[in-house]
Amino acid sequence: MNPLLQARGLEVYYGNFQALFGVDVTINEGETIAIIGANGAGKSSFLNSLSGLAPSRADHIYFEGRPVGGTSPFNMVKLGIGLVPEGRRLFPSLTVEENLLMGAHGRTVDRGWNLDTVYDLFPVLRERRHQMAPTLSGGQQQMVAIGRALMANPRILLCDEISLGLSPAIIRDVYAALAEIKKHDTTILIVEQDLTAALNAADRVYCLMEGRVTLEGAPASLSKDAIRRAYFGA
């Protein structure tokens, strides 16, 4: 297997506050990885440092074997690292289609994602392409956020809490779309509090607690007890 994105001893500080303490995570090409953990475990700090939004040292993050930590977010996406941010964060004064087109700014290669293929993945967005983003339902907004990240044609898609605030039926739809995206040779990293959704989708799971990795493995190999301990502490 070919490591695509790696964190090696990743530490993240916000001023004097340390959020991550030497996190090691390897994401191989084509895998779907889930990062689970309680609120405040450091999941978002981890994702933000991978996408460049949180500061990190160059030799703490590797992309295709090259140190890329601390690269600005607008260059991270051009490397092929796309982010679906927590809370969706659509541009409220732009239409659905304009939101998607903003995503194309980070595009450096064509891996098959464009307006047409994104609309094929989420047909409801084609109907609503000229609506302003805030007028959509939560699930539709999440689809725009995923589609917007896809428009950059990323090698790896980082998804932060994409099930947050959505109904179970919608969560199923969103994860079905992720499975579809994976078929496009796209590596996926999901950060989730919804354990069931995460364990069903992932090839491997990492559990974070208080800024450290406490558990790692394939979902089938992990007992519920082990997960509970890794999640909440002993």
Partner 1 sequence: MSAVNTIVQGILLGGLYALYAAGLSLIFGVMRLVNLAHGDFIVLAAFVLLGLGTALGLPLPFALIIAVPFMFALGWALQRTILNRALTGDLLVPLLVTFGLSIIIQNGLLLAFSADSRRLSLGELETASLDLGALSIGVVPLLTFVVALAAIAGLSALFYRTPLGRTLRATSDSAEIVQIMGVNPRAVFAIAMGLSFIFIALAAFFMGVRANFDPSAGPARLLYGFEAVVIGGLGSIWGTLVGGIILGIAQTIGGSINPAWQTLAGHVVFLAVILIRPTGLFRRQ
Binding site for partner 1 (CB under 8 A): 51-53, 72-74, 76-78, 82-83, 85, 89, 91-94, 98, 101-103, 105-107, 148-149, 152
User: CA-CA-CA-CA torsion for 83, 89, 93, 98, nearest 10 degrees?
Assistant: 30
Rg (CA), the chain: 17
> In the bound complex, what is the minimum distance in angstroms from residue 218's beta carbon to partner 1?
30
Q: Which residues pair with 10 in a beta bridge?
A: 23
Of the pair 73, 219, the CB lying nearest partner 1 is at: 73
Of the pair 135, 196, the CB lying nearest partner 1 is at: 135
> In the bound complex, what is the minimum distance in angstroms from residue 130's beta carbon to partner 1?
13
Of the pair 89, 228, the CB lying nearest partner 1 is at: 89
**What is the token pair recorded at 29?**
């090409």
Of the pair 106, 230, the CB lying nearest partner 1 is at: 106
> In the bound complex, what is the minimum distance in angstroms from residue 93's beta carbon to partner 1?
5
Tell me how far CA of residue 38 lies from CA of 9, 44, 64, 119, 191, in angstroms: 21, 11, 30, 34, 11
> In the bound complex, what is the minimum distance in angstroms from residue 100's beta carbon to partner 1?
10
> In the bound complex, what is the minimum distance in angstroms from residue 226's beta carbon to partner 1?
34
Q: Which residue is it, tokens 């428009």?
A: 151
Q: What is the DSSP string of 155-218?
A: SEEEEESTTTT--HHHHHHHHHHHHHHHHTT-EEEEEES-HHHHHHH-SEEEEEETTEEEEEE-
Of the pair 76, 202, the CB lying nearest partner 1 is at: 76
